Amino acid sequence: MTSGRIVAFPSSTPPTTHQSSLADDTVDEDAFQRGFDDATTYLATMPDTWARHHASSALASGDIPDITQSYERGYRAALYGFVRRVRR
């Protein structure tokens, strides 16, 4: 045993691009972007304290518009990103 280090991956090859490893065929990119944009626009209409409370509450309760799965994922991503950004 080597000291816990990975020395080589003889049977695997890295993805050709970083983006290709993140692709998800089930996501409609336009709907995801609309959900993301709608959430960020809505959060921008509120004072930071209210927006933080709304984002945290919506994520905890699941009170997120479910127009389509991709839209919901975009909306949820924006809320999560807002909560993470504000906490730093």
| Domain-located, residue 9 | no
Structural domain includes residue 63: yes
CA of residue 88 relative to chain centroid, distance: 17
Kindly report the pTM of this predicted structure.
Answer: 0.67
Residue 16 lies in a domain: no
Q: Is residue 2 part of a domain?
A: no
Flag whether 1 is in a domain: no
Residue indicated by tokens 């730093």 = 88
Domain membership flag for residue 13: no
State both tokens at 14.
């890295």
Confidence of residue 2 (pLDDT cuts 50, 70, 90): very low
The structural domain count of the chain equals: 1
Helix H or strand E encompassing 10: none
Q: Domain range holding 59?
A: 27-87
Q: Which two tokens stand for residue 86?
A: 């504000």
Q: Which residue has the tokens 């809320």?
A: 79
**Residue 17 located in a structural domain:** no
- Answer yes or no: is 58 within a domain: yes
Q: Integer distance in angstroms from the first to the last C-alpha of the chain? A: 40
Name the residue with tokens 């994520």. 59
User: pLDDT (tens digit, 9 = 90+) per residue, 18-72?
Assistant: 444 445 677 888 889 999 999 999 999 999 889 999 899 988 888 787 788 888 9
